[in-house]
Amino acid sequence: MRLALLQLRDYGSLAENRAQTVKKIAEAAKGGADVVCTQELFTTPYFCVKQDPANFDLAEKIPGPTTDLLCAAAKKNKVVVVGSLFENRGSEVYHNTAVVIDADGTLLGSYRKNHIPQDPAFEEKFYFTPGDLGYRAWKTKAGKIGVLICWDQWYPEAARLTALRGADVLIYPTAIGWLPSEKAALGAAQHNAWETVQRGHAVANGCYVAAINRVGIEGESEFWGQSFVANPYGQVIARASENKEEILYADTDPKAQAEFRRIWPFFRDRRIDTYGDLTKRLVDDEAPKVVSKKKKKK
């Protein structure tokens, strides 16, 4: 499976973002891609830098005009497409959603972002309702892929549950960057944490991980690019630049992946009978039981 990650900037309008992405899908197909993936919310600027009710007008229905366009591009270029959109579900409910389209143009389904962050310049809880479709993997012409979105990257449970559904590749459309006030002191550490945790998901699940980030400065955020693909050993086999638009290619190796899982059979050795507390917010220590002593009769 050859992956192509579209590390792009915002072009200033819905029409231009769509046009540039369709153009890059065709270019990626010519480069031998089997699966082409967009950055998070590729049709719009990263509007979550501030809370503004007018931004809800950027959302669209799924299926809708953008998915129709992506389906046509997938079919024309014979590639699987993963696209990240701002979904208007109806009744003023909105989601951060990724769609998976097979190489024949069939819309296979959607994943709605489950973990929603709330930080300065990342005001996502104002816009997005948490996902309700669970963790999913799709059998495509290119292979079985799972899709998660940005803040989901930090949660090993999300990666594990998607991998348990058979995903050989975990794909993360992303929009993450630095704030000017933090970059000098924390920028390198923040990027290292972001990459390291995802490389850990690759190892723990014996799969490939692909993270597609934006580039450019939008509002207070300087998106740090550096889209990458890691193999099951957690090794980065392809990495994009920090501030340039590009198509990043990487090839997966199913035989090597199968061999990794045979040597390190993490799924086999899981103690699923001991994981019940994972469904709790916190695991508090139980108070010691007080055993009363009966007085002896005289």
Tell me the pLDDT tens digit for each residue of 93-108. Answer: 999 999 999 999 999 9
What average pLDDT is seen over the chain?
96
Residue 296 vs residue 108, higher pLDDT: 108
Q: Which residue among 40, 124, 195, 218 is the active-site one?
A: 40
Inform me whether the pLDDT recorded for 289 exceeds 90: no
| Of 36-45, 115-124, 287-296, minimum mean pLDDT range | 287-296
**For 294, which DSSP code?**
P
Confidence class for position 20, pLDDT limits 50, 70, 90:
very high
Which two tokens mark 25? 């899908």
Confidence class for position 291, pLDDT limits 50, 70, 90:
low
Say if residues 58 and 95 touch (Cβ distance below 8 Å): no
In this structure, is residue 291 part of a structural domain?
A: no
Percent of the chain with pLDDT over 70: 96
In this structure, is residue 284 part of a structural domain?
A: no
pTM, two decimal places: 0.94
Q: Which residue among 37, 48, 71, 150 is the active-site one?
A: 150
- The per-residue pLDDT for 279 is 93
In this structure, is residue 176 part of a structural domain?
A: yes
Inform me whether the pLDDT recorded for 143 exceeds 70: yes
35 backbone dihedrals φ, ψ, rounded to 5°: -130, 130
Helix (H, G, I), strand (E, B) or coil at 228: strand
How many domains would you assign to the chain? 1
Residue 295: active-site member? no
In this structure, is residue 288 part of a structural domain?
A: no
In this structure, is residue 289 part of a structural domain?
A: no
Residue 297 and residue 160: Cα distance in Å, rounded?
A: 60
Say if residues 151 and 194 touch (Cβ distance below 8 Å): no
* Domain of residue 219, residue span: 2-277
Percent of the chain with pLDDT over 90: 94
Inform me whether the pLDDT recorded for 45 exceeds 70: yes
Rounded to an integer, the average pLDDT of 196-224 is 97
- The per-residue pLDDT for 219 is 87
In this structure, is residue 294 part of a structural domain?
A: no
Q: Which residue among 37, 87, 113, 124 is the active-site one?
A: 113
Residue 173 and residue 40: Cα distance in Å, rounded?
A: 5
Residue 123: active-site member? no
Inform me whether the pLDDT recorded for 287 exceeds 70: no
Inform me whether the pLDDT recorded for 74 exceeds 60: yes
Residue 104: its H or E element: none
Inform me whether the pLDDT recorded for 295 exceeds 90: no
What is the separation of C-alpha 190 from the centre of its chain, rounded to a whole number of angstroms? 17
What is the chain's alpha carbon radius of gyration, rounded to the nearest angstrom? 21
In this structure, is residue 292 part of a structural domain?
A: no
In this structure, is residue 257 part of a structural domain?
A: yes
- The per-residue pLDDT for 220 is 86
Residue 40: active-site member? yes
Indicate which CATH number applies to the domain containing 264.
3.60.110.10
